[in-house]
Amino acid sequence: MRKWARLGLAIDGSRKFRVPVLRMLLIAAAVVGALICGIVIFYYQRYSGMIDERISGKTARSESRIFGAPKRISVGQVLSPDLLASYLQTAGYSSAPDGAATGGIKTTPSSIEIRPSANSYFAGKNATQVDFSRGRISRLRSLDSGDRLISADIEPELLSELFGQSRIKRRAVTYQEFPRPLLNAILSAEDKRFFEHPGFDPIRIMGAALADIRSREKAQGASTITMQVARTFFFTISRQWRRKAKETFMALILEHRFSKERIFELYVNEVYLGNRGSFAIRGFGEAAQAYFGKDIRDLNLAQSCFLAGILRAPNRYSSAERKPERAAEARDRVLALMVANGFVTDQEAGEAKDMPLGIVSGTYGAGRSGYFVDMVKDEMLDNFSESELNSRSLRIYTTLDSDLQQAATEAVEWGLKNVDRQLAKKYELWIQRGEEVPAPQAALVALNPHTGEIKALVGGSDYTKSQLNHALAKRQPGSVFKPFVYAAAFENALDGREPVLLPTSTVLDEPTTFYFAGKEYSPNNYGEDYYGTVTLRDALVHSLNVATVQVAQEIGYGRVASVAKRLGLNADIKPTPAMALGAYEMTPLEIAAGYSTFANYGTRCEPVSLQRVVSRSGQLIQDAGYRKRRVMDPRVTYLITNILEDVMNRGTGAGVRARGFRFPAAGKTGTSQDGWFAGYTTNLLCVVWVGFDDNRELGLSGANSAAPIWTEFMKRAVMLPAFSNAQQFERPEGVVSVTIDPETQMLATPDCPVTRQEVFIAGTEPTESCTLHEKNLLDKLRPTTWFRRLFGRGD
């Protein structure tokens, strides 16, 4: 009994002891559970706030972004719904826009509704319906007012996220727009159970952990697509289990907050896919354009597999066009996975392997606008610090026309190949001598002559190889400077200065030695052809060097230098004979600004690259405005324009017409060590330079090097709606046109065998009629002459 009593006491004591312990354990578990719940709730709220700010559109990316100019479309324009939709997607529009989208589009087979958002260039205004018929725009209608339109402006293209750690290009694509073959390729390559797991894949995580333990380093990844979205938007890329835990928790929240389709959309629009030129490519929509020059919907199976394949090591495959074995490696790896996952058959995979990938080479992104973007960045840094531009999310709207920029890029690429063909023999000679063969360079600047807006700019042959912007590099302009000499000469007629020089005034063109400041200067004409006594018109039309120096000497070298400086050209120009032939260095952009004086009837337009700068909230930060000033009488500039039209029709620029450019235009060739051409229509001015970086002689005239590029560019430009309406140059008040005898420069009579129109500043035109051909009238009055005519007889 005692034994059992003692045992009972022991048991009872044990129970008494266990009850507090259990209670303490339960309390501790409750505390721990509450603590865990509190931590979970805390991080859930914190991460949800991060999601709201980062993904839901309340906080935009910090990088300032640079855009081109709005694009104009018009009724009758050749354009398809697919092409317009693709462009708008490039500009940030979506068929399912969220708060961060630039705008929304609604498409049918024959129409597109365009509705800009508050984040657009138009700040939510300018909604437009575009109707199509037979490959053209058949109707434009304002959705705001209901009015029918002849033309409409649509969103400018994003050129670059300018001030982040790298330049970035994106092209948003919705889940509905995403092609199924590419979706399946991505799932095979990255996360085949994406539509099944809750945000993380335990099987992959365990496999990665075992691999890390075996290798004793964090080498394996186990990230699902949702975890990659979490990492891309919120965390670093370091391989740490602490970061992996945060990433996993964020993935769970994302899966709770968003649909699988939305998460996939975030992933495919943000994932890094390598570099092309100086641009980082984000998202598959942009990658399709960057690697293949295609809309994402037009990719074939092989191309889809390549893009999915480069996710593993984007930088390794960025140069796949130069290393095709790497491209095949990426493609074939994903094709094998797609076969294993049942997305394609072995036969389909084999056919895809036989397809040429068609990766485009060249200078994507940077090639089209890199030099211009650099110029804009330099201008912005004059007013903002780089840290400000990195944090303020500015929207920088520029003057660049994307279609015109493409035309400029294509024209320069074509033109440099043309130069290479002409210099092939010289290259062979350099190689025989053991000399390095330099690559010719080119620059092209196109302006709106009435505003100074830079509409297109190419600064070199390849931005990825050299960032030197030749549009801003000083070189001797040669004969493109000559119009400024003749403009100074014609101004004498207004100022009452002597001598009064007119287009019909004559000058002697023959080998001549000029003396200035105790030095001799003996210029030669190009090709050493001399014309004797010539008019000023013909001296400029045929670009005669000696005659031009004669003109400069007659009016005074100081007068020419003064006029050139007034027009904004090189402030260091010295009044010397060589100045008249373009011996003082200037940039192509400087020449373009000077020529705007002629194209704009005496008003010089300062080149402008910025339209306006807008803050994240839409507040106007900077409005660039136009900078114009009257520097010359419009009568004088019209005389120059009229003569430069003659240059194009029968002078050194006649090759422009021979190559098929028929629009009214004025222009001038130039040849120094380099080749130049400067010319303009009533709505577009363009200057082209061609030469070598080391300043060696090009050995080609401007007519054979720069003028062909100018022509190819302008032929493309006038096909665009905004530049297709070039007109005849209007004669300003105070300029008269009279018919003269070109032999005597006097008023023509009915007896003059040849006549032509000449323009004069009113009051300087000839008043006397030609007397050289009066004998023709006397012949008509002889009896034998009228007798033979009357009776049909004679000797």
Provide the 8-state DSSP code for 449.
Answer: T
Residue 272, H or E segment: strand 272-276
Q: Name the phi and psi angles at 495, rounded to 5.
A: -90, -5
At 120 the pLDDT is 86
Q: How far apart are CA 460 and CA 588, in angstroms?
A: 12
Q: How far apart are CA 215 and CA 291, in angstroms?
A: 36
CB atoms within 10 A of CB 166: 12
Spatial CB neighbours of 147, under 8 Å, sequence gap ≥ 6? 141
What are the tokens at 642? 């009229």
The answer to whether the CB of 132 falls within 8 A of the CB of 81 is yes
Q: How far apart are CA 149 and CA 129, in angstroms?
A: 10
pTM of the model: 0.77
Q: Is the peptide bond preceding residue 499 cis, with omega within 30 degrees of 0?
A: yes
Secondary structure (3-state) at 78: strand
> In the block, which residue shows the tokens 């080119």?
442
The answer to whether the CB of 405 falls within 8 A of the CB of 368 is yes
What are the tokens at 230? 């979490």
Q: What is the DSSP string of 281-331?
A: EESHHHHHHHHHSS-GGG--HHHHHHHHHTTS-HHHHTTTTT-HHHHHHHH
Tell me, letter by letter, the H, E, C secondary structure of 687-751. EEEEECCCCCCCCCCHHHHHHHHHHHHHHHHCCCHHHCCCCCCCCCCCEEEEEEECCCCEECCCC
At 793 the pLDDT is 38
At 201 the pLDDT is 62
CB atoms within 10 A of CB 235: 15
CB atoms within 10 A of CB 65: 21
Q: What is the DSSP string of 601-646?
A: TTEEE--B-EEEEE-TTS-EEEE----EEE-S-HHHHHHHHHHHHH
At 26 the pLDDT is 72
At 631 the pLDDT is 95
Secondary structure (3-state) at 761: strand
Q: How far apart are CA 156 and CA 69, in angstroms?
A: 5
At 399 the pLDDT is 95
Q: What is the residue type of 112?
A: I
The answer to whether the CB of 686 falls within 8 A of the CB of 607 is no
Pairing of strands 441-447, 685-691: antiparallel
User: What are the C-alpha distances in Å from 746 to residues 736, 740, 749, 756, 766?
Assistant: 14, 5, 9, 11, 6
At 103 the pLDDT is 85
Q: How far apart are CA 59 and CA 54, in angstroms?
A: 5
- Beta-bridge partners for 103: 93, 116
At 370 the pLDDT is 85
User: Which parts of the chain have pLDDT scores under 70?
Assistant: 1-19, 21, 30-63, 96-101, 161-170, 199-222, 234-247, 249, 277-278, 319-321, 361-367, 390-391, 775-795
The answer to whether the CB of 552 falls within 8 A of the CB of 580 is yes
> In the block, which residue shows the tokens 């993380």?
200
Q: Name the phi and psi angles at 81, rounded to 5.
A: -60, -40
> In the block, which residue shows the tokens 């895809």?
352
Spatial CB neighbours of 299, under 8 Å, sequence gap ≥ 6? 179, 181, 182, 288, 292, 307
At 17 the pLDDT is 54
